[in-house]
Structure 1
Amino acid sequence: MAAALATCDMASLVEAVRLARGWSQADLARTVGYSQSWVSRVVNGQQSLTLNQVREVCERLGIPVHLLRFAPASPVSTPSVASRPPAASAAGRTKGAGPTRRRDFTKAVALAAFPLPSASAVGDIHELTAATLRAITGGQRRLDASAPSRDLVKAALAHLELSSRTLLRARQTPFLTEVAAATSEAAGFAAWLHADMGDAGSARMFYRRAVEHARQSEDVLLAVYMLGSLAIFEVDSEDPVLGLQLAHEATRRLGDGAHPTARAWLSCVRALAHAGLGDVSAAQRELGRAEAAVERSDNTEPPWPWVFPFDSAKVAGYRALAAVRLHRPHEARTAFSEAFATMSPAPKQRSMLMVELASVHADAGDVDEAFRLAAEALHTGAAYRSEKVVNRVRRFRREYRGPYARCVAELDEQLTSLVTGRLRL
C-alpha cells in the first residue's frame, strides 16, 4: 500500500484496498461507482485514470489524496511528504517502466501541479462551513420549484464538487461529519435534477453518492432518508423489487423508537413498492402503519432532513399513488381529493400527480378528463423542460387501451409536436 501511494500506482492501490477489505471486484465497483469491467481494467493496468477519476476513487475509498506522492519504484516502508524526490529524479526512475507505470507517472505530475489539500490545510474548515454548504443547497432547492432542472444542474454539480473538495479538507477536523451531511444533501439534489431530466443512470450514481456521504456523516436519519429516496426512485423506474429491498434496508437502519415522521414516511415508501408488485394487502398494511404513526402525539416538529410535517394528507397522497399502481380508481380518486385539500405542490410535482390522476380517470372510463389532465401535465413538462414529466405522459399514453376519442388524437398531436420541435422541451 505504501509503495503504491508513493508511486501513484493506482492499479496496485485499488487492488490493495480491495484485498484489505475482503471485497470482490463487484463490491469494489459498487463502492467507487463504476462498472465491474472498468474496475477489472484498472486493476490489470489496462485503464488510465483522469485526474478527476483519481480524486473520485480516492474519495470513495477513503484514501487521503495528499498521500499520493512520487518515490522510487522500490518498496518504501512509510509514505512521507518529506521523502518526495524532485520531479526530474522521479522521471529518470520511470524510464524503464512499462506504459502503465509511465501513465501513472504522468497522472502524478498532474496531481503535483494541481493544488491538493494537505493534512495541515484545515484552517478554512470551521463551525459555519457545513451550514454554508447546506444553505446553498437549500437555495437551489427553492429555485427548483420554479426553474427547469437543466438551468440548475450546472450550478448544482459545481456546488457538489465544492462540497466534495471541502469534505476532503475536513477529514482531519472535528467538522467531518457535518460536512459529509452537507455533501450528501448536495449529491441528493443532483440526483433529483438528473431524474427530472430523464437521466436515470446519473441520477442513480448521485443517489449512491448521497447514501455513502450520509453514512460518513454518522447521521442515521439522513442515511435512512437517502436510502428511502433511492428506493422511491427505483420504484418509479419500474423496479419495485429493488425499491422494496432498499426500503427494508432503510427500515433496518432506522431501528426501533425512531421519530414518527421517519417511520410513517418509510411505511409509505414500502407501500409504493408493494403496490408496484401488485400486493394489495401488504400495501394497505403499510399505509395503515403510516396513518397510525402520523396520529401519534409526538409527531410534532419533523426531524431533519425532513423539512415539512408528515401528516395524514401526505399519507393520503401516497395512498392515492399506491391505488393507481393497484388499478383501484375509486380509492385513488378519494385519496387524491383528501391529499389535494391541503397540499399546494410545486408545478413539476403537481404535473406528476396530474398524470397519476389521469391514469385513475382512464381506469374509471372518464377518458375526456383523463386526457385533459395528461395534456395539461405535458404542457407544464414542456415549459419546465422536464423529461420526467414528459416521459410519464408518454407512458400514460402507451398504457391506454380505451377508445380512440378526439381527446386522444389531440394528445397524440401534442406529443408529435414535442418530438418534431414545434412544442419545445
Structure 2
Amino acid sequence: MATALATCDMAAIVEAIRLTRGWSQAELARTVGYSQSWVSRVVNGQQSLTIDQVREIAGRLDIPVHLLRFATVGAMPTSFASSRRPTVSAVGIVKGADPTRRREFAKVVAMTATPLPLASAAGNINETTAPTLRSITGGQRRLDASSPSRDLAKAALAHLELSGRTLGRARRTPHLVDVAAAASEAAGFAAWLHADMGDAGSARSYYRVAVEHARQAGHGLLDVYMLGSLAAFEIDSDDAELGLGLAAEATRRLGNDSHPTARAWLACVRAMGYAGLGDSSSTHRELRTAGAEVARPDNAEPPWPWVFAFDDAKVAGYRALAAVRLRRPHEARSAFYEAFGNSRPPGAKQGAILMVELASAHADAGDVDEAFRLASEALRTGVNFRSERVIGRVRRFRRDYHGPRARCVSLLDEQLTAMITGRLPA
C-alpha cells in the first residue's frame, strides 16, 4: 500500500480496500457512486481519474486525504491547480503534466506514504473480539429481566450495528466464524426486544439477520436455535402453519445425532405449533418426544447457545401452554403447577405472559375471579415494563372471554381503559 500511495496506483489502492472490506465489485461501485463497469476499468488500469475524482473516492472510502495531499489546492503541485485539469491514470501516470511534474507529484505522495488504516483495519480483530461482543449481548439479556424493552432497544441496535461492522472487518481473518456467531446473538436479542415491543415486522427482520449470521458462522446448533426461535415467534403470533414449516426445517438441519436439549426444545416448539392448529394427537406426540429426550443420561450440560438444559419442569411448562391452546383447563392448571411450583420464578415479563396463559386456563375451568385477578396483575406488569407483548396478551384474553360479566371483569375493563388513556397507576 505504501508503494501504491507513492506512485498513486489507484487500481491497487481501490482493489486493496475492496478485498479488506470483503466487498464485491458491485458493492464497491455503490459505495463510490460509479457504475460497476467504470470501477472495473479502474481496477484493470483502463480508466484515468481526475484529481477531483481521486479526492471524491478517497472521501467515500474513508481514506484520510492527507495521505494523498489532495485536501487543498495548496497541497498539490502547481500544475494540478492549472486549468488543464490533469488526470491520474489507474496505474499512477499523471496525464497532462511533464515528467518533472510527475516526479514532483510522486515526491509529495511519498512524503506521507504510510499504510492506510483501512488496509490494516482487520488487525484489531483478535481472539478477544467475539467474547467481548457476546458479553455485551449477555449483559443486555440480563438487564431485559428487569428493564422495559424500549429502554434497551436503542443500545441493542447500536450493539447490533457494531457487531455487523466488526463482522465486515473480520472477513479474511481466522476469527470470522466466532464474530459471525456473536453478531447472530446480537441480532437474535434485537428480535426478541422488538417482539416484546409489539413490532412484529422488525422482529422478523432481525431474526432473519440472526439466521443469516449463524450460517456465516457455520455453527449448526446456532443456526437451528435462531431458526427455531423464529418458528416459535411465528407460532406465538398465531401463524402456526408457518411456524411448523420453520420448525421442520430446523429439525432437518439439526440431524439425529445432536444434543438432547436441542431435540427436546424443538419438539416443544413443534408441539406448540400443533396445539395452535388444534391437533391434540400430534401435540402430545411431540411432548412425549421431548420428555424422552430430557430423560436421556447425556442430557446434562446444555450446548451453546442454550443456557439451561431442558428438564421435566420445562417440558411441563410447554405442556401447560399447549393445554391452554387445546382448551383443556384442568390439564393446563396441573401442568402449570408442576412446571413452576418448585422452580425459580421466571422474569417479570415472561412471568406476566405465563399469568395470562394460566388466567385463560382458570377462565375455561369456570374460576373467573382467579382468572381475572391473574390477568389484572399481568396487565400491571405489562404497563410498568411498557411491554406491548404482555398488554396484547391481556387484551386478547379479554376479547376471548364470553362468560358472565362479574365485578372482576368490569375491573379489568376499567384497567384497560385507564391504560389507553394513560391513567393506570404504576
The two structures have a TM-score, normalised by structure 1, of: 0.78
Q: Could you tell me which residue of structure 1 aligns to residue 403 of structure 2?
A: 402
Aligned partners of 2:356 and 2:378 also within 8 Å: yes
Q: Does the C-alpha gap of structure 1 residues 190 and 424 become closer, same or farther in structure 2, counting only changes over 3 Å?
A: farther
Q: Decide which of 84, 87, 111 is 2:60's aligned counterpart.
A: 111
Would you say 1:85 and 2:86 are equivalent positions? no
Contact kept? 2:187, 2:207, Cα under 8 Å:
yes
Answer whether contact 1:231 1:243 (CA < 8 A) is retained. Answer: yes
Paired with 2:24 and 2:344, the residues of 1 have a C-alpha distance of: 42
Aligned match of 1:13: none
Q: Secondary structure of the equivalent of 1:403?
A: coil
Residue 256 of structure 1 corresponds to which residue in structure 2?
256
Structural mapping, 1:12-23, within 5 Å: none
Task: Give the aligned partner of residue 388 of structure 1.
Answer: 389
Distance 1:362 1:174, change over 3 A: same
> 2:5 is matched with which residue?
none
Query: 1:330 offset after TM fit, Å?
Result: 0.9
Change (3 A) 1:245 1:113: same
Aligned twin of 1:132: 132
Q: Deviations for 1:83-106, whole angstroms, at most 9, x for unmatched residues?
A: 783562479xxxxxxxxxxxxx9x
Are 2:309 and 1:309 equivalent residues in the alignment?
yes
Count of matched residue pairs: 353
SS in 1 for 2:123: coil
List gaps (5 residues or longer) in structure 1: 1-5, 7-57, 92-104
Unaligned runs of 5+ in 2: 1-10, 12-20, 65-115
Q: Would you say the 8 A contact 1:348–1:380 is kept in 2?
A: yes
Deviation at 1:344, TM superposition (A): 1.6
d(CA) in 2 for partners of 1:376, 1:288: 33
Note if contact 2:349-2:385 (Cα within 8 Å) is conserved in structure 1.
Answer: yes
Question: Are residues 389 and 71 of structure 1, via their aligned partners in 2, closer, same or farther at CA, if it must alter by over 3 Å?
Answer: closer
What is the rounded CA distance, in whole Å, between the counterparts of 1:167 and 1:344 in structure 2? 37
Q: Does 1:277 align with 2:277?
A: yes
1:23-43 CA distance string (max 9 Å, x none): xxxxxxxxxxxxxxxxxxxxx
Superposition deviation, residue 256 in structure 1: 1.1
Q: Secondary structure at the match of 1:269?
A: helix
**Which residue in 2 is equivalent to 1:371?**
372
**Structure-2 separation of matches of 1:386 and 1:141:** 15
* Identity, % of aligned positions: 66
Partner Cα distance (1:419, 1:72) in 2: 52
Alpha carbons of structure 1 residues 114 and 141: separation in structure 2 relative to 1, 3 Å? farther
- Rounded to whole Å, the distance in 2 between the matches of 1:79 and 1:324 is 65
Q: How does 1:197-276 map to 2 (within 5 A)?
A: 197-276=197-276
Cα separation, 2, equivalents of 1:396 and 1:252? 35
Matches of 1:374 and 1:205, distance apart in 2? 30
CA positional deviation for 1:111 = 3.2
Cα distance, 1:348–1:78 mapped onto 2, change above 3 Å: same
The CA distance in 2 between the partners of 1:266 and 1:243, in whole Å, is 11
Distance of aligned partners of 1:415 and 1:318 in 2 relative to their CA distance in 1, 3 Å threshold: same
| Cα displacement (A) at 1:75 | 5.1
Assess if the C-alpha contact under 8 Å between 1:215 and 1:223 holds in 2: yes
| Contact 1:71–1:84 (8 Å) recurs in 2 | no
Contact 2:383–2:391 (CA under 8 A) maintained in structure 1: yes
TM-score by length of 2: 0.77
Q: CA deviation at 1:69?
A: 4.3
Contact 1:66 1:117 in 2 (8 A): no
Deviation at 1:118, TM superposition (A): 4.0
Q: CA–CA distance in 2 between the matches of 1:228 and 1:340? A: 24
Measured after TM superposition, the shift of residue 109 of structure 1 is 8.2
In the alignment, the residues of structure 1 paired with residue 273 and residue 24 of structure 2 have an alpha-carbon distance, to the nearest angstrom, of 33
**Cα RMSD after superposing both structures:** 2.7
Q: How many angstroms apart in 2 are the aligned matches of 1:134 and 1:144?
A: 15
Map of 1:142 onto structure 2 = 142
Task: State the distance in 2 between where 1:210 and 1:62 align.
Answer: 22
Tell me: CA distance 1:376–1:89, structure 2 relative to 1, closer, same or farther (3 Å). closer
SS in 2 for 1:410: helix
